[in-house]
Amino acid sequence: MPSSERFVDALNAQIGREYAAAHQYTAIAVWYDAETYPRLAQFFYAQADEERDHARRMTTYLLESGQPVRLGEVAAPVNEFPDHVEPIRLALEQERTVTVEIGNLLDIARETRDYASEVFLQWFVSEQVEEEDSIGSLLQVAERTRESPMMLEEFLARGDNAAGADGADGG
């Protein structure tokens, strides 16, 4: 079981951030849907599902450890974007923030000698490497296709990229 109230509080806060990320990814997907970018919408709907899965993993860990789960408010997401590149830029910033927060959780687990939580967090450390790579690659292509956004849709449709044809990266 998590050995410190500090870790439990931090993991509960991270659960909130995971749900907020899912909320933001859903808003991005809806924006792409409305702008008739079906592959980008599909990619971000899948990302939203992944973030909810991350929150559920964390929730399950706390419950199995006999610790309280405290769900808080989720802030409204950004809903409007000036072009097809900005939602991806926002997504990458969000993933980089999550990477830092996962590192902070790992630090707390180590400081409190909470070995079970440290092992639990290893999956998330690896997942964040994949997430940043996938969205970072998508942003690079989006920047290159700024004047021809349908080429980004083609990139996703090909499926031979980090983002994958189905919008999920397997995590």
Is the pLDDT score of 163 beyond 90?
Answer: no
What three-state secondary structure class fits 71?
A: coil
Is the pLDDT score of 170 beyond 50?
Answer: no
pLDDT digits (tens, 9 = 90+) for 28-80: 999 999 999 999 999 999 999 999 999 999 999 999 999 999 998 999 999 99
In a domain, 164, yes or no: no
In a domain, 168, yes or no: no
In a domain, 58, yes or no: yes
What pLDDT score does 62 carry?
96
What pLDDT score does 169 carry?
41
In a domain, 42, yes or no: yes
Number of domains into which the chain is organized: 1
Based on the number of CB atoms within 10 Å of its own CB, is 48 exposed (0-12), middle (13-18) or buried (19 or more)?
A: buried
Is the pLDDT score of 161 beyond 90?
Answer: no
In a domain, 83, yes or no: yes
State the DSSP string of 126-152: HHHHHHHHHHHHHHHHHHHTTT-THHH
pLDDT digits (tens, 9 = 90+) for 112-154: 999 999 999 999 999 999 999 999 999 999 999 999 999 999 9
Alpha-carbon distance of 155 to 139, in angstroms, equals: 12
Based on the number of CB atoms within 10 Å of its own CB, is 98 exposed (0-12), middle (13-18) or buried (19 or more)?
A: buried
Is the pLDDT score of 106 beyond 60?
Answer: yes
Alpha-carbon distance of 147 to 126, in angstroms, equals: 34
Q: Could you tell me the residue range of the domain that residue 28 belongs to?
A: 5-158
The answer to whether 105 touches 2, Cβ cutoff 8 Å, is no
Give the CATH number for residue 124: 1.20.1260.10
What pLDDT score does 159 carry?
78
In a domain, 171, yes or no: no
The answer to whether 79 touches 23, Cβ cutoff 8 Å, is no
In a domain, 143, yes or no: yes
In a domain, 154, yes or no: yes
